[in-house]
Every structure is written in C-alpha cells, then in structure tokens.
Amino acid sequence: MTFGWQALPLYVVLISVVTAMLIFALGEGRQHVRTALNLGGAILKLVLIMLMLLAIQSGASFEFRMPLLPGLDLVLHADRLTMLFATLSALLWLITTVYAIGYLEQSPNRARFFGFFSLCVAATMGVASAGNLFTFFIFYELLTLATWPLVVHRGTPEAVAAGRLYLAYTLIGGVLLLIGLIWLHALAGGSDFIVGGSLAPLAAGNETTLRAIFVLFMLGFGVKAALLPLHSWLPRAMVAPAPVSALLHAVAVVKAGAFGLVRLVQDVFGFDLATSLGLTDLLAGLAATTVIYGSVLALRQSDLKRRLAFSTVSQVSYIALGVATGGVLATIGGLVHLVHQGLTKITLFFCAGNYAEGLGVHSVEELDGLGQRMPVTSVCFTLGAFGMIGIPPLAGFVTKWYLGAGAAASGAPWIIAVLVASTLLNAAYFLPLVHRLWFRPLPDAMAKRELAITGGRMQALVGPTIVVAAMALLAGLFAGTPGSPLFWVIRMVGGEP
Amino acid sequence: MPSEFLIGLIFLPLLGACLAVLPWRWSIRLGVFGGLASLPALLAALTLAVIRDGAWYYTLGGWTAPLGIRLFVDPLALLMLWMVAIIGGVAAAHAWHDFRPGTPAGARFWPLWLLLTAAMNALFLSADLFNLYVCLELVTLAAIPLIAMAGTATAIRAAMRYLLLALLASLVYLLGVALLYNATGTLDLYLMTDGLAASGGPATSLAFALIAAGLLLKGAVFPLHVWLPNAHASAPGPVSAVLSALVVKTAIYLIYRIWLWTLPAEDPMQGAVELFAVLGAAALIYGGILALLQERLKLVIAYSTVAQLGYLLLVLPLASVTAWQAASYQLLSHGLAKAAMFLAAANILHAVGSDRLADLERLDQRTPLSLFALALAGVSIMGLPPSGGFLAKWLLLEAAWREGRWLLLAALVLGSLLAAAYVFRILAAGLRREDPTEAEDAEGTSPIGRRQAAYALLLAVLALVAGFGAAPILDIVDAGIPAGWSAP
C-alpha cells in the first residue's frame, strides 16, 4: 500500500468523495460555497487526470493496492481504457455541474442533490480505474446506491416508483454479478484485469462453467447498459431532473454497464477466448437486437425525454456490438462510441432540459417552431440529432463507419444491415423533431409564453449546452487529428490511423 | 498484568452499577463514566496481550479447575467485548439525554444498564457452563426492565412475554447443564470435551438438545423468535440498539462456543449444525419477508434482526477458515449497523412523534442526519459495498460456494435481496413528499437533535469503515479459529 504519486487514481476517486462529504456537511444554505466546492472539485479532478495522462505518455504507471480480504485486494490503476473513460466523465462532470447549478437554482434539496451527484461521479471514477473485478464490483454497486437518491430526487409517487423499478433491476443485476464473481473467484482466484484476458489457461475442461460465468456477467452489466430485455428501468428513470438524466445516459450508469461489457470481453475473458466459446456471437446478437428494438420503441414515444431514453438504449449497444464483433476496426468503432455517444447524448439532454425549463415543453408535438424562440438550443439539438443519425462529418458517422468497416472485415455482413436499419430508424425518429423545430410554424400560445429562464441562469444552462454540442461537432469534424477521441482510441487498440 | 484487566472488565461496570444505585447525581455520573469509559482502555491492553500470547485462561483466586472457576479470553471473546465497549458506549451516550442523572428515569436506568454491561462482559469471559447460566440470567434480568422502561402498555406486555420465555429458556438450558455435569463431572467448557468423548450417550445428547433449545429461544432464532420484534421495537432507542446488537448475540455466541469448542468432533450432536443452518436460512427469508410487511420503522428493524441472525447460524455447517471469518465479521458489522439503525429510528421517532412509515415523508428535511445514518447503516445491512456487511456476505458466499452448499447460497442471495427491499422501502418512505412544489420548511434540527443524530451516524460510519479495515481485524480473528475449522 503506497500513498505516493502512484496512488493518483485513488485521489481522483477521493476528490469526488470528499466533495460529496463537504457538500453534505455544509447543508442547504451557503450556495456560493457549495458552488465553489462543486466547481473546485471538478476542476481539480480534471487537472489531476490531465497530469496522469501526461505522465502515462512519458511511460509512468499508476497503481494503488490495498488488501481488503485475504487474497482480495482493492486495486485502482490507470490503463488506457481507464483514461479514456475517466477523462470523458471528468470533463462531462464539470460541464454538467455548471448546468445543474443553473438548472436547480430555485429548487429544494440542492445539498442532497449535489452530494449524491459527486458520489455518483466518484463511483464512476472507481469503475473506470478498477484494477480487478472485485474492485469493479464495489464501485459498480456504489454507483447504484449513489444514483438512487437522484432518481427519486423529486419525491413524487412517480419518482419513488421509478426508483423502485431502478433498484429492482440493478440490485438483481448486482446479485447476478456477485454470483458470477464468486464463481470466477473460486475458479481462478482474484485475478487482476490483464489485457487480452487471463482465463485462457483455465479454458480446457471448463468451457461450460466459463460460458455460464460470462452470461452472469453479461446480464449483470447488461442491466445498467440497458441491454434487451433488461432496459425497462431506463425510460422510467426519466422522471429525474434533466442533469441527472444527462449524466446517467452519457457517463455514469449506462456507460458503466457498457464499460463493464468492454472489460468483460477484452480484459477478463479476452476476445479470442470469448469467441472460441461462442460468447461474442451471443453478445453481438443481443446488442444488435437492442439496437433495432430501442430505435423502434423510440419512434413511438411522444415524450421528448423518453424518446431520448430509448435512443440511448439503442445507441449504447453500439459499444457492445463493436467490441463483440472484434477485429481492430470494429473495436475502434465500439470504443470511440463510448465517447461519441456521451458527447452527443448529453447535448440532447441538455437541450431537452432547456426546453422544459424555458418554455415548459416536454412532448415532441410542442417543439413546433421552437427554432425561433430558442435558436441556440435548437441549433445544438439539431447538431446532436444529426450526430446520432450519423450524418457525416459528425461523430456518429465516424462510429458507424468504423463499425461497418469492421463488420465487413470480420465477415459479418449482417451487422452492416443492422447498422443501415438503425440509421434509417434514427433518422425516422430524429428528423421529424428537427423538422418541427425549424419548419413548422410557431403556435400563438407558444409565441406568447414567457421564457422562464433569463440572465445568469440562462447562461448557466445554454453555455454548457453550446460547449458539449461544440465538442460533439469537433470530435467528428477533426476525427483524424491527433488528440481527437478517435485518434486516441486507435492508438489504444494499436491500429494505424 | 492482563489478568487484572480481565477482572476489571467485569468489576468496573459492576462497581459502577453499585455507585449508580446511590441517590446522588455525582455518584451516578461517576458510576457511568467509570464503568463504561474505562472499558476501551482495558480492552486495548487485553488485545495486545492476546496478540502476543494468544488465547489464555485466568484462574480466579488461584483455585484451578475443575474445582475453581476459570476465565478465558480468545479472539472471539475479544471481538464481543470490543462490541460491548463500543456499541454499548455509544448507545449509553445516546441514552444520556433521555435518562439524565437526577431524574427518576435516570435513577432507574443506569444501574440496570451497567449491570447489563457487566453481565455481558462476564458472559464473554466465562469458561464454565454454570457461570454462563448465571451470566445469561443476569443479562436477561437486566434487559427486561430496560425494555419496560418505555412505560407503554405494548412495552410492558412485550417485556413480560420476553421474561416468561426467557425463564423457560434458562430452565431448559440449566437442565441440560445438570445432565452434562452428571455425565462428565465438570462444568468447564474446555475440560469437558475429553469427558464427553469418553461418556457420550443418549443422556449427553439429550443434554445438548436441551441446551440448544434454550439458546435458540434466547437467541430468538426462527421459529422461536416470536418474543423479539415487539420487545426490541418497543424498548427505548438505546436499549433496542443494545438488545439487537449485543444481547441476542450472547445466545449465538454460546452456540458457537459449545458446538465449536466443547462438543467433540465425532459426537452425534454435531449433526445439529445442519438443523441450525436450516433454521438460519428460514430465519433469513421469513424475517426478511416480515420486515417487508411491517408498517412501523422500529418493527422493520427488529424483524431485520431476526433475519440477520440467520447469517450467523448459516455459517455453522460450512466449517472453514473463510466461514469463521465470515461469522466474526457478520457479528461485528451487524452489531454496528443495527445499533446505528435503532439509534437513528429513536431520533426519528422523537422528532416526528410516530414511527409509522406513512408518517415519515420529508425526513430528508426533518431529520436529515438520522435519515443519512439510517441509509449508511442500511448499506451494511443489505450487504452492499462498501461496508462491513458486504465483506461478511462475500466471505459467507465464498465459503458456501467452496462447500457446494447451493441451497444455503440461494438463501443468502434471496435474504440479501429481501434486505435491500426493506431497507429501500424505509428510505423511500423518508424521501417521499406529497407535493413536489412544497417549499422547504424551517424545521431545522436542534443542537440536541444533531448530537443524538451524531451518535447514530458514528456507528453507521464505523460499519462502513469496517468495509475497508477487515485485514487487521481478520488477522486477530484468524488466531482463534475453532479446532475443526482450520483444516483446509
């Protein structure tokens, strides 16, 4: 156990924990101190992650290890996948915090909200930097616990019911994960994540056991990643305030599930072993079904946030699809979507929050002509929608390009068909929204309605929206430039740009 | 010398009880502080001695067994003593507000409390069955008036029922002890083993069956738990905390002692561990379901105790180092978390005036700290990370998996899902608000309320910290694994 600079991943997790504790201790009053704490914590965390990135560039490595039980350590480390996820969530945490400060300006229980918000990010950081499955599980469950108060934040019967559903899914998923973990532990001991998998030597004679363990893990992660048929909690959880939805969908819960699937295939089993056991086909099939099914259901939603939620169900499965297809190109596509989906979806949720706060717009029908009333938000929304559809040169296109190319390279043309169908469906549920925004006349009632957000609050909501929209745009536009998410992922996977 | 520390652990609280009987305010204060605050220091010295020398005996007055009385301390006893000192100490600090010296309630409360502490300490240090009987009786007789101290009709009825059943349990236990004395000529737990191996037979089997029945009744093990929920739920908060965290565990502790230390490995009564495991599994599920059906907060927590005691019995047939670690850690973390929950519930009851779940809306504004303590302790009770309860559950699952006990495993999993359901049901009741636009009310927490909440929070945080501090504690526990369990 060393607490020197090698333990930096621990400190990155602890910053958010400490922020949360200070916010809880501070209580409801003293809003300025809380804001300073929130932003200070988020910025400090981002700075530390940047330092870690620089250090890793020059060959340093980070690991914190602490024995929890005989033979089981709490391990936090920083590999390339960690850094990808950690950077994304630290960056989006900062932006979402600014947004949430504006969003919740007048509402009660802000201390509780921001406290659990920080705790949620701490758990996400732990998930990102977990060095073995045991550590991963601890933070994965902590994430469930920290998110629940956010989902039921409003305390209405509807929110409480959504919280109950969320728990029912995630806790049962957690139990499946725990059983898989105990099983694997009995079989292999507390092996750390090793790129390429550490189970291959055990495979002979244990095929069925390993398959069962994989399925348990897949279901455990699949609940949070909203894999079919474990997705029902996600649309219901939309009763949470908009910044929560944004964070849930873009970086925290759903992403933690997807990240778990990536770790499972790449680092626990290793792609080759998983393929030889026929497991990647299973995952790819499930992911592809989810991609289509989520899109079909999104078509039918008239509530804006619910439509976005089903879009998430569909889009997050691209990550699992890419990783399960395998090969350099498809893996790049899947991993880069971790970032692309995050940036794009958070843009859309911010916009939905702006519409709801500004004009009380919740349903799709009310979007008519809003391009005139809220032009900046509407431009951002349009960018986000185009990005989701995958119109070049936006980020979604880059993902789909690599996924398609990877599918072709791996000899799985049916995946290309899935991608095409999904793109058409994405267009079918996003383009009408864009059409409504810009080409439908503004109803008189809406034209007369006063904007409920003004001044500083407006800046706090629209500013972050512009920033994430710009990031989503740039990630696609400059995908081939060093420093872009794509470039990063390509270097990580070890392919040629 | 450490032997004086052993004596001190029993006699200082007893002396405190004598002082607290006196009518002066200062004598009660002195009795309580002297009797309780001295315990951690004594234990720290004792812990060092046990780490250095391992388990050891102390013969009272120099009379050696089988004639004299021996005291015995090993890592398990040490763990229980620490729990009495810490949980009992924090609960006493919480009780200080409601039972001030100088008030009639205070004058009645503190002698009993100190007597209870002394009796539990003596129980954990005793090495012979008759002494254990006396201690068990003293624990019960001190606990019952403490329950009745709430003064409500429910509390008095519950205390009365507890009294009758506990007396029955003691008699049954004593009968078993008499039979054993007749068969082996000794009462010493650790000397009896050889005699039992030589003279085993139907009579000793009957004796152990009687002892088991008595202890299961005292330990409120399903289906003999009927007295527990009302007794624990209607007692004053700090008393509930100590009853659930410590008092019921005395019976479980004795089951461990007798079955894992005294009874020879080849004795037919060893088969009873299977029965214990079945009862434990049933308790886990039955208690969980009933906790889920209760309409009052304290009853939910009391039924949760019925369920959580199941874990402690479930361990018995698993017989491995991991299982022993699981049992020890469950004893510790359940004690901390459950006491925290009862203290928090007492604060909520005090602030709201009712502990019906239907009346608990907006607790996050009315009693934020106590609700937070309840939530943190709940994490450990559910066995979710990061908490001591999680590590205990992990060890338990691992032990059950290694032995291939799938039914026990299923019970464990189901039990923890039920625990999650009843804990989150409480928390959801506390976060509910009828009208979402309702403005914040100014009903803040008074300084006294904050202090009372801090005690609950302290124990809850300890239960959480236990999720990271297992390594040193298990190091000590590993030195005292029962003989049959250490083989791989």
The predicted complex's ipTM stands at 0.89
CB A475 within 8 A of CB A340: yes
- Give the residue on A whose Cα is nearest the Cα of B434: A156
Interface contact flag, B384 A69, Cβ < 8 Å: no
Sign of the torsion angle spanned by Cα atoms A215, A217, A218, A222: positive
From the list A28, A67, A154, the residue facing B440 with the nearest CB is A28
Tokens of A493: 């996977």
CA distance A320 to A326: 10
Lowest-confidence pick of A313-327, A334-348, B53-67, B111-125 = B53-67
Which of the four pLDDT bands, split at 50, 70 and 90, describes residue B488? very low
**Measured between alpha carbons, how far apart are the two ends of chain A, in Å?**
39
Distance from CA of A429 to the nearest CA of B (A): 32
Tokens of B282: 């049933």
Distance of CA B487 to the CA centre of its chain: 28
Q: Please report residues of A whose CB lies closer than 8 A to that of B439.
A: 108
Backbone angles phi, psi at A67, to 5 degrees: -70, 130
Lowest-confidence pick of B108-112, B151-155, B175-179 = B151-155
Distance from CA of B428 to the nearest CA of A (A): 7
pLDDT at position B292: 94
Residue from A182, A213, A216, A239 to probe the interface with B (highest B Cβ count within 10 Å): A182
DSSP, collapsed to helix, strand or coil, labels residue B189 as coil
- Give the residue on A whose Cα is nearest the Cα of B439: A108
CB A415 within 8 A of CB A338: no
Interface contact flag, A142 B385, Cβ < 8 Å: yes
CA angle A189, A4, A66 (to 5 degrees): 25
Distance from CA of A156 to the nearest CA of B (A): 6
Contacts of A464 (CB under 8 A, 6+ apart): A95, A96, A98, A99, A102, A350
Q: Does B401 touch chain A (CB under 8 A)?
A: yes
Single out the residue of A17, A77, A66, A80 nearest to residue A45, CA to CA: A17
C-alpha distances (whole Å) from B68 to each of A3, A217, B127, B130, B135 are: 53, 59, 11, 12, 17
pLDDT at position B438: 52
C-alpha distances (whole Å) from A147 to each of A123, A454, B420 are: 10, 30, 15
Tell me which of B438 and B261 has the higher pLDDT.
B261
CA distance B406 to B247: 31
CB A378 within 8 A of CB A440: no
pLDDT at position B442: 42
From the list A69, A139, A145, the residue facing B391 with the nearest CB is A69
Q: Does A458 touch chain B (CB under 8 A)?
A: no
Q: Please report residues of B whose CB lies closer than 8 A to that of A160.
A: 428, 431-432
Interface contact flag, B401 A68, Cβ < 8 Å: no
Q: Does A420 touch chain B (CB under 8 A)?
A: no
Q: Does B169 touch chain A (CB under 8 A)?
A: no
Distance of CA A55 to the CA centre of its chain: 26
Residues lower than pLDDT 70 in chain A:
1, 190-197, 494-497
pLDDT at position B353: 87
Interface contact flag, B379 A137, Cβ < 8 Å: no
Q: Please report residues of A whose CB lies closer than 8 A to that of B397.
A: 178-179, 182
From the list B417, B428, B436, the residue facing A172 with the nearest CB is B417
Residue from A68, A142, A181 to probe the interface with B (highest B Cβ count within 10 Å): A68
From the list B385, B417, B424, the residue facing A175 with the nearest CB is B417
Q: How many CB pairs under 8 A join A and B?
A: 90
DSSP, collapsed to helix, strand or coil, labels residue A450 as coil
As to burial, measured by CB atoms within 10 angstroms (0-12 exposed, 13-18 middle, 19+ buried), residue A212 is middle
- Give the residue on A whose Cα is nearest the Cα of B393: A178
CA distance B310 to B485: 20
- Give the residue on B whose Cα is nearest the Cα of A157: B432
Interface contact flag, A154 B436, Cβ < 8 Å: yes
CA distance B372 to B365: 11
Q: Does B403 touch chain A (CB under 8 A)?
A: no
CA distance A171 to A167: 5
- Give the residue on A whose Cα is nearest the Cα of B406: A179
Interface contact flag, B397 A178, Cβ < 8 Å: yes
Q: Which of A323-327, B185-189, B381-385 has the highest mean pLDDT?
A: B381-385
Q: Does B386 touch chain A (CB under 8 A)?
A: yes
Q: Does B279 touch chain A (CB under 8 A)?
A: no
Gyration radius from chain B CA atoms: 22
Q: Please report residues of A whose CB lies closer than 8 A to that of B390.
A: 138, 141
CA distance A103 to B38: 53
pLDDT at position B195: 80
DSSP, collapsed to helix, strand or coil, labels residue B487 as coil
C-alpha distances (whole Å) from A319 to each of A291, A375, A398 are: 10, 32, 13
Q: Does B151 touch chain A (CB under 8 A)?
A: no
Q: Does B406 touch chain A (CB under 8 A)?
A: no
Restricting to B residues 324-363, those with a Cβ less than 8 Å away from any Cβ of A are 325, 361-362
Q: Does B424 touch chain A (CB under 8 A)?
A: yes
Which of the four pLDDT bands, split at 50, 70 and 90, describes residue B80? very high
Interface contact flag, B362 A175, Cβ < 8 Å: no
Residue from B391, B397, B435, B478 to probe the interface with A (highest A Cβ count within 10 Å): B397
CA distance A4 to A432: 55
- Give the residue on A whose Cα is nearest the Cα of B424: A164
Res. B63: pLDDT tops 80: no
Q: For the residues B395-417, what does the mean pLDDT come to?
A: 92
Interface contact flag, B365 A109, Cβ < 8 Å: yes
Q: Please report residues of B whose CB lies closer than 8 A to that of A110.
A: none
Q: Does B442 touch chain A (CB under 8 A)?
A: no
Q: Does A167 touch chain B (CB under 8 A)?
A: yes
**Per-chain mean pLDDT for chain B:** 89
Interface contact flag, B424 A164, Cβ < 8 Å: yes
Backbone angles phi, psi at B31, to 5 degrees: -60, -45
- Give the residue on A whose Cα is nearest the Cα of B385: A138
Q: Does A28 touch chain B (CB under 8 A)?
A: yes
Interface contact flag, B413 A171, Cβ < 8 Å: no
Interface contact flag, A70 B474, Cβ < 8 Å: yes
Q: Does A241 touch chain B (CB under 8 A)?
A: no
Interface contact flag, B433 A156, Cβ < 8 Å: yes
Q: Does B408 touch chain A (CB under 8 A)?
A: no
> B75-98 vs B38-53: helix axis angle to the nearest 10?
170
Sign of the torsion angle spanned by Cα atoms B114, B120, B126, B128: positive
Res. B377: pLDDT tops 50: yes
pLDDT, tens digit, for every residue of B450-468?
A: 889 999 999 999 999 999 8
Which of the four pLDDT bands, split at 50, 70 and 90, describes residue B411? very high
Q: For the residues B112-140, what does the mean pLDDT come to?
A: 93
Q: Which residues pair with B296 in a beta bridge?
A: B356
Interface contact flag, A67 B416, Cβ < 8 Å: no
CA atoms within 13 A on the CB side of A342: 33
Interface contact flag, B394 A112, Cβ < 8 Å: no
- Give the residue on B whose Cα is nearest the Cα of A72: B471
